[in-house]
Amino acid sequence: MKLNDAVFGALFLALSLLVLWTIQGYPKIPGQNIGPAAFPGMVAAVLALCSLLLIVQGMRARNGTPWFQRGEWTSRPPQLIAFAITVAGLLLYVLASERIGFIVTGVVMLGALMLALRVRPATALLVAVASTLVIHVAFYKGLRVPLPWGVLPVLY
């Protein structure tokens, strides 16, 4: 799948304008010149500038080509199924991870994706469980990010 650079530029420009609009409501810190809006504002301003450059580059390079071209993978059922499982897994995580938990959700997501990509079931289960546990330990212990336990009891 290929999108013209001008399309991505327009999306990034919209994102940067949304950030610039949002930070207007950030509070000012008395006695300081730099507040909580400074860094996001600088990043959004640079993103807006780069977005404009992408739009100009995309418009120059277009020469009658379509804005959107389908990739070869969009006609292959295994890749479409894997894409759908990835999107469904992300939605599952967003909507249900607090109730189900990171570990269960991660194993289900990775296992389903590997099975869709025709990995042997035993290998898919082993890799899904091991990967999920490594990611959980890295976030929970290493980065101190509390991931939801859901249906599992707190083990730490």
Q: CA–CA separation, 25 vs 47, rounded Å?
A: 20
Per the structure, how many domains does the chain have?
Answer: 2
Residue span of the structural domain in which 92 resides: 72-142
Name, in order, each residue with C-beta under 8 angstroms of 13's C-beta and a sequence gap of 6 or more: 47, 48, 51, 52, 55
- Segment 135-141 shows an average pLDDT of 92
Q: CA–CA separation, 58 vs 22, rounded Å?
A: 28
- What phi and psi, each to the nearest 5 degrees, are found at residue 63? 45, 45
Counting every residue written for the chain, the total comes to 156
Please check whether residues 62 and 114 belong to one and the same domain. Answer: no
**What are the CA-CA distances from residue 114 to residues 81, 104, 108, 153 (Å)?**
11, 15, 10, 27
Please check whether residues 35 and 57 belong to one and the same domain. Answer: yes
Give me the pLDDT at residue 4, please.
Answer: 84
State which of 21, 53, 69 marks the end of a domain: 69
Each residue's pLDDT tens digit, 24-37: 988 888 888 888 88
Name which residue leads in pLDDT, 43 or 4. Answer: 43
Structure tokens that stand for 94 in this block: 């967003």
Beta bridge partners of 2: 69
- Segment 135-155 shows an average pLDDT of 85
Task: Output the DSSP codes for 38-57.
Answer: HHHHHHHHHHHHHHHHHHHH
> Is pLDDT above 70 for 124?
yes
State which of 11, 45, 69 marks the end of a domain: 69
Q: Is residue 152 a contact partner of residue 133, using CB atoms and an 8 Å limit?
A: no
Each residue's pLDDT tens digit, 93-109: 899 989 999 999 999 99
Each residue's pLDDT tens digit, 24-80: 988 888 888 888 888 999 999 999 999 999 999 989 888 877 777 787 877 888 888
> Is pLDDT above 60 for 149?
yes
Q: What is the pTM of this model?
A: 0.59
Please check whether residues 100 and 111 belong to one and the same domain. Answer: yes
Please check whether residues 36 and 62 belong to one and the same domain. Answer: yes
Please check whether residues 80 and 20 belong to one and the same domain. Answer: no
